Amino acid sequence: MHFIFEPGFFSNTTVRTALVLGLLVSVVSAAIGVFTVVRGQSFAGHALTDVATAGGAGASLAVISPLIGFIGGGVLGAGAMDAIGVQRVKGRDIATGVVLGAATGLSALFLYLVTLQTSTTGSTQTILFGSVFTVEPSTLPDALWLTALVLATLFIIRRPLMMSSISPELAQSRGVRLRLVGLTFMVMLAVAVGLSAIVIGSILSTALLIGPPASALKFSNRFSTAVVFASVLGTLATWLGIILAYDSYYWSASHRGLPVSFFVVSLVVAQFVVANVLAQRRRVRVVHATEHHATPEQVGWI
């Protein structure tokens, strides 16, 4: 066991907080990420991480909880993107890009002011790249109810959301209020991004948001299956990342541990590569099977 878990791993409160947060964030990111990927809003998701950065930097300046800053910034950004027109497919990239640019500029200002006005050190590093080992255990209750909020909201709007994600025209003809559903989704996306920002940093939260869902969607086109599969992949990546970061302290004589975010993101990318290779093989098999007059439904592909 010591080979995998270096001494003190399970008795360390810092590590325990990190593991719980890692689980919550992975599940939330998976659930919201599957819809984000299907809706083709990965770029919007990434822009929200930049807006969350501005919020986190603002929180650092105002010396309030970074979680409040990340989520507050993200929700404001979601509202701004909706106002400029993120819902229309045509204007989507422009709305996203404009908000992204404005937010990043604001982050630059806030992070500069932090160095001028406070004794806080390492804000830029913490906000952009995360520091799950430095999160206060008192953040956990907030993270827990925010996770519940996102999951419950997604569950309630799942039908109109799925329908509008696959075919907006069809959804509209069935009486789905596209804008309301879209805005609700964006706000939940902002909350999810804020949560994962405190674990792997605002910039890297895209990785957890897009990576595991993209891998999961290689194997299942069913929303519920993909969400469960993405949750498992995400949790594996974060937990393994935390273990490796903890162990990395013992890898060198100088006892300088490597950052968690690096490991988590590497694992997410590795999963995606493996998923692609496996899916490729599977597709070959499917093609092979159809040649023998089997329908895609029979192979379970659709």
Partner 1 sequence: MILSKLVGMVPKKRLLEDRLRNVVMTMVAASSVALTLVAAPVSGASRSTVIHAVGAENEYANVISQIGGRYVEVQAVMSNPNTDPHTFEASTSVAQEIASAKLIVQNGVGYDAFMNQLESASPSSSRKVLSVQSLLGLSNNTKNPHLWYKPTTMPLVARAIEKDLSSLDPIHALYFEARLTSLLTSLKKLDADILSFRSSRAGVKVATTEPVADYLLQALGLDNETPFPFQADVMNGVDPSPEDISFQQHLFTSHLVKVFCYNAQVSSPVTLSLRDLAMTSHVPVVAVYETMPTPHFDYQTWMIAEINAIGEAIEHHTSTTSL
Residues that bind partner 1 (CB under 8 A): 6, 8, 12-15, 18, 80, 83-85, 102, 106, 109, 112-126, 131, 133-136, 245-246, 248-249, 254-257, 259
Q: CA-based angle 113:114:117, to the nearest 5?
A: 80
Say if CB 55 and CB 70 are below 8 A apart.
yes
Nearer to partner 1 by Cβ, of 135 and 227: the residue is 135
Helices 66-84 and 92-117: crossing angle in degrees, nearest 10, is 150
Nearer to partner 1 by Cβ, of 255 and 292: the residue is 255
Nearer to partner 1 by Cβ, of 115 and 276: the residue is 115
Closest C-alpha among 10, 20, 1, 21 to residue 246: 10
CB of 246 to partner 1, least distance (A): 6
- Within 10 A of 190 (CB to CB), how many other CB atoms are there? 29
Closest C-alpha among 174, 177, 172, 127 to residue 157: 177
Sign of CA dihedral 146, 147, 148, 154: positive
CB of 260 to partner 1, least distance (A): 8
Half-sphere exposure of 20 (CA within 13 A, CB side): 17
CB of 259 to partner 1, least distance (A): 7
Nearer to partner 1 by Cβ, of 74 and 259: the residue is 259
CB of 230 to partner 1, least distance (A): 27
How far is 127 from 131, CA to CA, in rounded Å? 8
Nearer to partner 1 by Cβ, of 81 and 286: the residue is 81
Nearer to partner 1 by Cβ, of 253 and 300: the residue is 253
How far is 209 from 201, CA to CA, in rounded Å? 12
Nearer to partner 1 by Cβ, of 160 and 241: the residue is 241
Give CA separation, 72 vs 61, 107, 165, 197, in Å.
14, 14, 25, 12
Nearer to partner 1 by Cβ, of 182 and 212: the residue is 182
CB of 198 to partner 1, least distance (A): 11
Closest C-alpha among 190, 229, 197, 236 to residue 213: 229
CB of 287 to partner 1, least distance (A): 45
Identify the DSSP state of 252.
Answer: S
CB of 125 to partner 1, least distance (A): 6
CB of 255 to partner 1, least distance (A): 5
Say if CB 20 and CB 26 are below 8 A apart.
no
**Burial (0-12, 13-18, 19+ Cβ within 10 Å), 73:** buried
